[in-house]
Amino acid sequence: MDLRDRPEDEAFRKEVRAWLDAHVVGDFAALGGRGGSGDETYGFETRRRWERLLAEGGWTCIGWPIEHGGRGASIAHQVIFNEEYVRAGAPGRVSVLGEGLLGPTLIQYGTPEQQARFLPPILAGTELWCQGYSEPNAGSDLANVQTKARREGDDWVITGQKVWTSGAHQADWCFVVCRTEPGSERHRGLSYLLVPMDQSGVEVRPITQLTRTSEFNEVFFDGARTPYDHVVGEVGDGWRVALATLAFERGVGLLGHQVSFRRELDHLFELAMANGKTSDPVVRQRLARSYAELEILRFNTLRSLSGYDGPVAPPEASIIKLYWATWHRQLGELAMDVLGPAGLMVDSAPYELDEFQRTFLFSRSETIYGGSNEIQKNIIGERVLGLPPEPKGTAR
C-alpha cells in the first residue's frame, strides 16, 4: 500500500485547498471549524449559507456519479477532500444525511421522478433531511418498527413515533421506515417513505442531551401525509432499502473523522504541556498510546479502503467504527484527566462546554449511533470472521 498522493491526487488536493483557502474567510472562518457532532446548533444559519456556497463551487456530494450532479470522486479523492476540509477549518456540514444517506439511496433505488425532485436540492444545500428509523422499541432491533402508514386516495397517512431523530428540528424532509402492510411482522411489510416535516401531522420534540444541546428529537406522526408516489423501492420492500441506507451510513463514517481527531489530539498535547500534566508519567503514556492508536486507525482505514471504490462500505467498516468510537470515548476520558478540576467547571447557566467537555460527554453517543459497539461486534463476528450467527430476530 503506497500512502503517498499520486500525481492526480496531488493536483486534486491543490484544487481543493485553493478553493477552501479562498472561501473559508469572514463569517465562515470565524466559526473555527465548529458545528460538528455535539455542537450542531453552533452558527447554524451561517453554516446553511456556507452549504450553498460549497454547492455553487461544486463541492457538495462529490462522491455522487456525474450524471446525478456529483463529481464521481473516488474514495481516495473523498478522503483528500475531507482531510483538506478539516485542515482549512471549514464549517461543520449541515447536509450530512441528505448527501451521505438519502442521496445514494435514491440513486440506487429511486425512480427517475424521485431523483429529479429530490437530488437537486440536496446538491444545492437547500433541503435538509433527517432519518426516521429508531423507535422506542426499535433501535438495534430495527425490524420491530411499529409506525404505520395506510393509503388514502393519492396519499399515505402516517401514524406513530420515532425517537433519537438527529436534526429533525432543522430538517425539511424525513425518510421514514414504516409498516404499510397491516398485521405484518419483523422485516416484512415495511416501506420507505419520504415525508415532509412542515405539516400539522408532524410534531417534533427536542430531547436535551448531556451536552445541553438538542441534536436529536422525538418525532410524532399523527395523521401526517405524503404523496403515494413518495415511496422508495416497492411498497412492502422497505427493509431492503433501509439496509442499503445503513450500509451507506457505515461507509460515510469512515471518511470524515480522522483528521479532526488528530486536531483534537494536538490540542490535548498543547494543553498537557501548558498545564504541566506531561510530567505525570501515566498521563504521558496515555497520550503516547492515543497517538499510536490514532495512527493505527489511519492505516486500518486506508487498508480497508484501498482498492475499494464502491459507495458502500465493506463489512470490515465495522472494525473501524468500533475502533474509532472507542478511541474517541477514551480520548474524552483522558482529556478530563489532563484538565483536572477545571474539567468539572462551567460558567453559570446558560453555559457553553469547552471542546474537551463536549468530547467527553458527546463521545458516549458515538458508541451507540450508527450501530452500537455490541452490534458492530456481532457484525464482525458473523460477517468478517464467519463465526456462527446469533439467534435471528434480535439485532439489525
Ligand X SMILES: Cc1cc2nc3c(=O)[nH]c(=O)nc-3n(C[C@H](O)[C@H](O)[C@H](O)COP(=O)(O)OP(=O)(O)OC[C@H]3O[C@@H](n4cnc5c(N)ncnc54)[C@H](O)[C@@H]3O)c2cc1C
Q: Which residues bind ligand X (CB under 6 A)?
A: 130-131, 133-134, 139-141, 164-166, 216, 365, 368-369, 372, 374-375, 378, 394-395
Minimum distance between the CB of residue 333 and ligand X, rounded to whole angstroms?
18
CB 143 → ligand X: shortest distance, Å? 12
Rounded CA gap, 277 and 375, in Å? Answer: 36
Q: How far is the CB of 211 from ligand X (least distance, A)?
A: 10
Q: What share of the chain is helix, strand, coil (3-state, %, to 5)?
A: 50, 15, 35
Residue ranges in 103-237 assigned as alpha helix (H)? 103-109, 112-124
CB of 83 or CB of 215, closer to ligand X: 215
Nearest approach, Cβ of residue 256 and ligand X (Å): 15
Closer of 191 and 365 to ligand X (Cβ): 365
316 given a catalytic annotation: no
Nearer to ligand X, 368 or 384 (CB): 368
User: Choosing from 51, 83, 249, 293, which is the catalytic residue?
Assistant: 249
Whichever of 170 and 338 has its CB closer to ligand X, that residue is 170
* Shortest Å, Cβ 99 to ligand X: 14
Q: Of 174 and 297, which CB lies nearer to ligand X in the complex structure?
A: 174
Nearest to 65, CA basis, from 18, 115, 20: 115
Tell me how far apart the alpha carbons of residues 219 and 198 are, in angstroms, rounded to a whole number: 12
Closest chain position to ligand X (CB): 139
Beta bridge partners of 237: 190
Q: Which three cell numbers stand for residue 19?
A: 478553493
Q: Which positions are catalytic? A: 249
